[in-house]
A and B are shown apart, each in its own frame.
Chain A
Amino acid sequence: NAGVTQTPKFRVLKTGQSMTLLCAQDMNHEYMYWYRQDPGMGLRLIHYSVGEGTTAKGEVPDGYNVSRLKKQNFLLGLESAAPSQTSVYFCASSFLGVGKNIQYFGAGTRLSVL
């Protein structure tokens, strides 16, 4: 049982390049999330999905796009990377249940944009 897997673990981009971060979960969870974490700060929600084929904006969605074509996968795309997007990105998933906001997190993707 792998849980939540993020790929890649590390990436260095040049300004203007594009890339896609992949998140995969094997727990059959309905909900999935993408967060970013900057040094000394808490996690901030970028986008989230409440089910296959649906996505919604979080707190800091600008400059990112997402897709949830399959229930187990949630993709985060950067179309034109900027230095301000240098951060650690975490993916999470959770199941649908009353009073159960238990999110399971991946190990993170460390992205540097030069």
Chain B
Amino acid sequence: DAKTTQPPSMDCAEGRAANLPCNHSTISGNEYVYWYRQIHSQGPQYIIHGLKNNETNEMASLIITEDRKSSTLILPHATLRDTAVYYCIVRSTGGGNKLTFGTGTQLKVEL
């Protein structure tokens, strides 16, 4: 699985967009980009995933660069409840569909 690099922490004002970057320069053609988040002490929660096209759901948007070497998770209107650790994971299908969690980005949303 490709390695990912994320900033250890970010701050965002409530109501503003939170843009969380992820670098995955060694990504392979069949690897998807997944984003999960973990609110303090809870189990991780799936947010969104994509292969090469940009994706949007009710929680967030995922922007993947054309060369697929990096991506950005966008929370369009961050709230205090979005304060969490956000994990970017790159994975292909198969092999038990295992996910490798790094240390992620601690997003703190403030008033």
Binding site for B on A (CB under 8 A): 4, 31, 33, 35, 40-45, 48, 50, 56, 58-59, 88, 90, 92, 94, 96-108
* Interface of B: prevailing SS: loop
Number of inter-chain CB pairs below 8 Å: 65
> Closest approach, in angstroms, between the C-beta of B87 and any C-beta of chain A?
7
With beta carbons under 8 angstroms apart, the residue of B36, B45, B96, B101 that contacts A31 is B96
Q: Is the CB of A42 within 8 A of B46?
A: no
Q: Is the CB of B102 within 8 A of A48?
A: no
The yes or no answer to B13 lying at the interface (CB within 8 A) is no
Interface residues contributed by chain B, number (CB under 8 Å): 24
- Given A99-B49, A102-B46, 14 more pairs with CB closer than 8 A: A41-B103, A42-B103, A43-B101, A44-B101, A48-B98, A50-B96, A58-B98, A90-B44, A94-B97, A97-B93, A99-B32, A101-B49, A104-B46, A108-B43
Residues of B near A88 (CB, < 8 A) are 41
Q: Which 5 A-B pairs have the closest CB atoms?
A: A105-B43, A42-B101, A43-B101, A101-B97, A102-B46
Binding site for A on B (CB under 8 A): 32, 34, 36, 41-46, 49, 51, 87, 89, 91, 93, 96-104
Q: Is the CB of B93 within 8 A of A101?
A: yes
Contact A48 B44, CB 8 Å, known A43-B101, A99-B32, A101-B91: no
Please report the C-alpha to C-alpha distance between residue A58 and residue B91 in the assembled complex, in whole angstroms: 15
Query: Nearest B residue to A104 by beta-carbon distance?
Result: B46
Residues of B near A92 (CB, < 8 A) are 43-44
Give the residue among B41, B44, B45 with the most A Cβ atoms within 10 A.
Answer: B44
